[in-house]
């Protein structure tokens, strides 16, 4: 199966507003009751517009589809509050390290034609954000949920040359 086919298969468009949602993780939780086990499901979804905006959502329900819907709705709500990621062409402007919990994600800009060199959780966030050429490395915990949060933390730290000049009050 080709990479593009795999990306298309994993993603769904929601509400025709240009947002793409990607399911990161679905987990089953069991509670033991008198009659046996009662299962519920947790879902984590990443929503992005491929133009530099990306957010995550987490939903819980007794069935998988409602859990995914809740997660997507929460992600779309938080996407409205997110600022657009500073990009340099199809990559990021500089190296950055995102951290969340025990997970650490290193994001390094790459030249044209490199592609997205990343593991499953990190790849979904970067593709949803619209980044096409990047190298990544994960240190610490490989928990998919923490990796997604660490990746979004790293992307939120990105600054362009003009933003750095304004912050410092000098010209570079």
Give the structural domain span for 75.
3-79
pLDDT band at 5 (very low <50, low <70, confident <90, very high): very low
Neighbours of 54 (CB within 10 A): 31
Q: Is residue 91 part of a domain?
A: no
What pTM, to 2 d.p., does this model score? 0.83
Contacts of 10 (CB under 8 A, 6+ apart): 22, 23, 124
Q: Are residues 162 and 102 in the same domain?
A: yes
In this structure, are 59 and 124 located in the same domain?
A: no
Residue 123 maps to a domain? yes
In a shared domain, residues 55 and 100: no
Same domain, 74 and 100: no
pLDDT of the residue at 168: 86
The count of domains in the chain is 2
- The pLDDT tens digits for 54-74 are 999 999 999 999 999 999 999
């Amino acid at each position: 199966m080709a990479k593009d086919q795999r990306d298309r298969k994993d993603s769904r468009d929601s509400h025709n507003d240009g947002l793409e949602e990607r399911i990161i993780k679905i987990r089953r939780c069991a509670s033991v009751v008198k009659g046996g086990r009662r299962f519920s499901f947790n879902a984590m979804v990443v929503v992005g517009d491929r133009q530099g905006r990306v957010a995550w959502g987490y939903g819980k329900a007794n069935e998988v589809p409602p859990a995914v819907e809740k997660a997507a709705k929460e992600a779309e709500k938080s996407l409205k509050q997110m600022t657009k990621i500073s990009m340099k062409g199809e990559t990021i402007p500089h190296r950055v390290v995102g951290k969340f919990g025990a997970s650490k994600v290193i994001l390094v800009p790459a030249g044209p034609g490199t592609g997205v060199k990343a593991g499953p959780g990190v790849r979904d966030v970067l593709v949803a954000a619209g980044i096409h050429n990047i190298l990544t490395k994960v240190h610490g915990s490989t928990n998919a949920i923490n990796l997604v949060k660490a990746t979004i933390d790293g992307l939120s730290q990105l600054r362009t040359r003009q933003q750095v000049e304004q912050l410092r009050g000098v010209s570079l």
